[in-house]
Amino acid sequence: MVSPTSLPSSTLVLVFVLFAAAGVDFSFSTSIPPTKIGNGYRLISIENTPDGGILGLLQVIQKNQIYGPDIPQLQLFVKHEAQDRLRVHITDAEKQRWEVPYDLLPREQPPKLKQTIGKSRKSSITASEYSGPELIFSYTKDPFGFAVKRKSNGQTLFDSSSDASDPFGNLVFKDQYLEISTKLPKDASLYGLGENSQPHGIKLYPNDPYTLYTTDVSAINLNTDLYGSHPVYMDLRNDGGRPYAHAVLLLNSNGMDVFYRGTSLTYKVIGGVFDFYFFAGPTPLSVVDQYTSFVGRPAPMPYWSLGFHQCRWGYHNLSVLEDVVENYKKARIPLDVIWNDDDHMDGKKDFTLNPTNYPRPKLLAFLDKIHSIGMKYIVINDPGIAVNSSYGVYQRAIANDVFIKYEGEPFLAQVWPGAVNFPDFLNPKTVSWWGDEIHRFHELVPIDGLWIDMNEVSNFCSGKCKIPEGKQCPSGTGPGWICCLDCKNITKTRWDDPPYKINASGLQVPIGFKTIATSATHYNGILEYDAHSLYGFSQAVATHKALQGLEGKRPFILSRSTYVGSGKYAAHWTGDNKGTWEDLRYSISTVLNFGIFGVPMVGSDICGFYPAPTEELCNRWIEVGAFYPFSRDHANYYSPRQELYQWESVAKSARNALGMRYKLLPYLYTLNYEAHISGAPIARPLFFSFPSYTECYGLSTQFLLGSGLMVSPVLEQGKSEVKALFPPGSWYSLFNMTQIIASKEGRYVTLDAPLNVVNVHLYQNTILPMQQGGLISKEARMTPFSLVVTFPAGTTEGEAKGNLFLDEDELPDMKLGNGYSTYIDFYGTITKGNAKVWSEVQESTFALGRGWHIEKISVLGLDGSGEASSLEIDGNAVTGDSNIKMNITEQKFLEELDDGEDKKKIVMIEIKGLTVSVGKNFAISWKMGNKI
């Protein structure tokens, strides 16, 4: 949903000028401090801890007053918490400081502060290295600096030491300013540090600004702190042809600037502690596995959520919603979920229905109709609760004392319904109240999920406000995001006006601008200054608990604001984007980043949120968006209609691209399972599968689904072809399996891509499970299966693998062993003229009960120098009078081979007419190579 900060930066500048004219003080320090802020610390004591860590005491070398006084003594705690995870925790040695709450993001507690360490005992450690299974921590004492190295090859992953030639200084630790840096090799490729729209692609770009502070600033603004805060980066290096990846997380929820200079990276943080976690990798997949093992495995998603979703802000009444569903059906375009923005609400108030435009009896009849065929319904929910004494939700909130406070009273803000207060989700009472409100609303309207928006938190006003006397607020005319409360700026505390100004909104705006005042307080006196970026995360945790408690079903939550660990509870979309070709390109990088952040269920508003996309752009966008993990068309109130059936050409592209998505649903759902058990992203950069192939390290215009399904879309206006990178090996077109692209070294290939065509290729050594598709996932899920088996083109010796996870998809847990799930491994081999495809089934009961079967197997890339013969199924020969047929089709290379070899005849074998049960082990074999 658009809001005042969902505007270009140039517009924001005008907004700031207007607010300044109204008396809002935007004064902030413009003086440039010295590059090197402090003189560092010295290590004066160090000892072993009973749990296998080390504990040290640091003392400041020379104090200064830049950004406030230095904290005199720091406690250092280092521990190898797991084989592949190292923690380095630095805090004030004498006073407890703010950290991300341990009950919100569960993890080990560091030792309690020991004020006597170093004062009455000598160091018990003489070595300067602390070694673990994968990583080594080393340190220097004066000035203190530390390094983290990879044990296997001695590679330095992080080095905080500073010398005179470095553009950064030593460790700085003040109450409201923390600074630390690391040296980096020139050839390190970095990814992460979100959320922002990165114009240069997925790789971090030297000297671009990276500010982390959750903010309602539209995704159309580049290099700006957006809705989420993810202070983690992945570092990929190629050492003598061998790839090594690792990740670094700074678990800190305070606002920060991160300066990446290419050969160094510097954190400048305005509070909290240094709590670093190093994940050893060494592959990109293992890095994400280790990261999500720590922050939380991604939430299991219901099967229907992988279908296509349609939303719009501006479905003014129920009849419009009914027409949209009917028009998708008429256009033969798949649709699983219909959404409401705030149009269904009464006066834009949470948990209400508009009695005129969405009368409950008619809405319930509509929902009965769509639910009966397997469709779902989701509505929006903003955190701001309208201040209205006749509004039951507000009455119960006041009675339960659930709101964030300012000077002892609920903090007053303005969002869509007018004056609002914000629930404090760090308060256990709020979590209970929120769950009760969701339960009440579900009894009113049987929703299938919740969309939590505006939770950065977004506020249309700034400062301390009161409801104006003698005028209506909002007025009901003009844009709803104009502040109509009577407000005055808040600058009286150091929390509202900190000494160091992060580059908030890309313009160094005050950190309380258009959000909750940072001197406001949460439960137990927690400052908004510290907890600001946790708001959307804490709301997702509470919402997940509430939805799971409704009917025991698997929750679906879409959240705009996210933090470290949000993927355990919610999906994400990339926010208010623009209907432009540039925004289409940026969407790929953002989606891939969130896979690294442990939020694999992610997508971008297809065709753009605003303004109107062109017909050509919408064609190309659905060809990309059909392969986002979360696939939804969403548009702004002020934009023309852009449902996929509005243009016949777009409808054609949608039928093609979404038609393929719905055939791939069993594969996508299996990827959803893999994400849940190992963190593996659904959509991945190519370097995840090809980490040795440096050519793909910066590639941001193509992506993989899983390990071997590559999407190469058109991202430029007026183009009917696309230049795509193909890593080494054999690739097969999924839309035309007779086409092969093969290369030993990898290369770019120009592919035909007319308006309604998207190029999708499947890599060698893969077994891809598919079904026949349909207009809704429920019906598509019951169609027969097919398997696509790929070998390196022309090989006489090869292996292929794939898998399939099936379960009762609305159960809360996604796991084996509960009696409601089945897992199948598929294998294929070709060796000495003998071809075989077989399965190994775990927990067969569920699949057998559903009656699923495989009706076709397509095997690609076979040497066609001879015919196929002697087909057997489970050891029984298939006779000529059987319904099972084996067809052979020659495959063609799209371009000449680059290795100078003579072309072989390559064939695809299709075995049709099968009735092989998915729930039973099977083996199908035949012979290749008898001369024709």
Written as one string, the DSSP assignment of 685-719 is -GGGT-TT-GGGTT--S-EEETTTEEEE---STT-
Q: What are phi and psi of 509, to 5 degrees?
A: -70, 160
Predicted model pTM: 0.96
Q: What is the pLDDT of residues 25-76, one digit of tens each?
A: 443 333 345 579 999 999 999 999 999 999 999 999 999 999 999 999 999 9
Distances from the Cα of 130 to the Cα of 125, 139, 147, 325, 868, angstroms: 10, 9, 11, 62, 61
d(CA 586, CA 588): 5
Token pair for 28: 């902030």
43-99+130-292 and 673-928: identical CATH topology? yes
195 is catalytic: no
Find the helix or strand (DSSP H, E) in which 585 lies: helix 581-596
368 is catalytic: no
CATH architecture label of 43-99+130-292: Sandwich (2.60)
Q: Determine the pLDDT at residue 454.
A: 98
Amino acid at 592: L
User: What CATH class does 304-655 carry?
Assistant: alpha beta
> Which one from 175, 424, 453, 528 is the annotated catalytic residue?
453
d(CA 384, CA 480): 14
CA-nearest of 557, 578, 554, 581 to 567 is 557
d(CA 256, CA 383): 24
Contact criterion met (CB below 8 Å) for 759 and 732: no
Q: Which three-class secondary structure state does DSSP give residue 244?
A: strand
d(CA 804, CA 673): 9
Other C-beta atoms closer than 10 Å to the C-beta of 752 total: 10
Contacts of 1 (CB under 8 A, 6+ apart): 313, 341, 342, 380, 382, 416, 453, 454, 576
d(CA 273, CA 266): 15
Listed by start position, the domains of the chain span 43-99+130-292, 304-655, 673-928
Q: At what angle do helices 648-663 and 665-678 cross, to 10 degrees?
A: 60
What topology does CATH give the domain 673-928? Immunoglobulin-like (2.60.40)
d(CA 930, CA 920): 31
C-alpha of 355 from chain center? 36
d(CA 583, CA 285): 27
Sign of the four-CA dihedral 424, 430, 433, 434: positive
| Beta bridge partners of residue 407, listed in sequence order | none
> Which one from 70, 134, 456, 843 is the annotated catalytic residue?
456
- Cis? peptide before 918, omega within 30° of 0: no
d(CA 717, CA 583): 12
d(CA 412, CA 430): 17
Contact criterion met (CB below 8 Å) for 337 and 309: yes
| Beta bridge partners of residue 724, listed in sequence order | 749
Token pair for 32: 């440039």
Distances from the Cα of 932 to the Cα of 605, 832, 845, 865, angstroms: 54, 17, 44, 8
Distances from the Cα of 595 to the Cα of 210, 267, 448, 697, angstroms: 19, 23, 24, 16
Instruction: Average pLDDT across each block of 10 residues of the chain; the chain has 932 residues. List them in order.
Output: 48 38 38 73 96 97 96 98 98 98 97 65 73 97 97 97 93 98 97 96 95 95 95 96 97 98 97 98 98 98 98 97 98 98 97 98 98 98 97 98 97 97 98 98 98 98 95 79 94 94 94 97 98 98 96 96 98 97 98 98 97 96 98 94 98 98 98 98 98 98 98 98 98 98 95 97 98 98 98 96 97 94 98 96 97 98 89 92 92 75 84 97 91 44
583 is catalytic: no
> Which one from 576, 843, 855, 863 is the annotated catalytic residue?
576
Q: What is the pLDDT of residues 864-910, one digit of tens each?
A: 888 889 999 999 999 888 899 999 999 999 986 555 555 789 999 99
Token pair for 406: 């300012």
